Amino acid sequence: MTNAAVNLNGFFQFSATVRYTELGWNPSLRTERRPMRNLSTAPVLTTQRLVLRGPERDDLSGFTRFMTSAPSMEAQGETVTAEQAWFGFLTGIGHWHWHGFGFFTVVEQQTGHPVGRVGLIKHSNWPDVELAWHLFEGAEGKGFATEAAMAVKKWACEDLGLDRLYSYIDWENTRSQAVAKRLGAVTDGTRAPHEPEAEVWVHSMESH
């Protein structure tokens, strides 16, 4: 490298430093990168016992346990690998940014612990918006799914302007069927075109 090249590089370095100083930035200081807390556009919904919020980084471990080993997932033959759970978690975050809605993380107010996920989903090959829910192990049987789904249904009507929602529930999943009934949904036994084992449950929004 010639002396002229060294001097030229020094000039550009000096010029850049002067420009950075004018803009109020010191190039000798390293910028600390902090993880984003708000990963989605989700609002915060509150019920008597629950807080519904968007997904956060700390939710990944609980989500992974549920997707890889939850008895309810095993019973339906729907468990996945940890890597697949990771991609599913990221897909859920992207869903919020693409559609403006998605899965809320459901947190019990009394303990501050996530107890499941409830929300709205619509994948590219799905005909309509689905109201879906799943609870983590130990949180079933307490009415959390119904309470959270009612809040999401109200939000979907009042804030998103949706006039109808659907739930695609396996014809043998009696627990989810009971939740759908408590939410006022009905089915005539029609199977979902994208999921032959699931019946289509229709939620009327008239009561909201």
Separation CA 19–CA 34 (nearest Å): 26
The number of CA neighbours under 13 Å toward the Cβ of 146 is: 15
Separation CA 147–CA 119 (nearest Å): 12
Burial class for 35, CB neighbours closer than 10 Å (0-12, 13-18, 19+): exposed
| DSSP string over 99-154 | HS--EEEEEETTT--EEEEEEEE--TT-SS-EEEEEE-TT-TTSSHHHHHHHHHHH
pLDDT of 204: 86
pLDDT of 17: 43
pLDDT of 36: 60
Separation CA 201–CA 2 (nearest Å): 76
Q: What is the pLDDT along the chain (208 residues), one digit of tens a residue?
A: 444 443 434 433 434 444 434 444 444 444 455 556 679 999 999 999 999 999 999 999 999 999 998 888 887 788 899 999 999 999 999 999 999 999 999 999 999 999 999 999 998 887 799 999 999 988 999 999 999 999 999 999 999 999 999 999 999 999 999 999 999 999 999 999 888 899 999 998 865 5
pLDDT of 34: 54
Give me the residues paired with residue 50 across strands.
Answer: 108
pLDDT of 174: 93
The answer to whether the pTM exceeds 0.85 is no
- 141 φ/ψ sector (left φ>0, alpha ψ -120 to 50, else beta): left
pLDDT of 7: 44
The single residue listed with the structure tokens 């307490």 is 142
Separation CA 130–CA 149 (nearest Å): 11
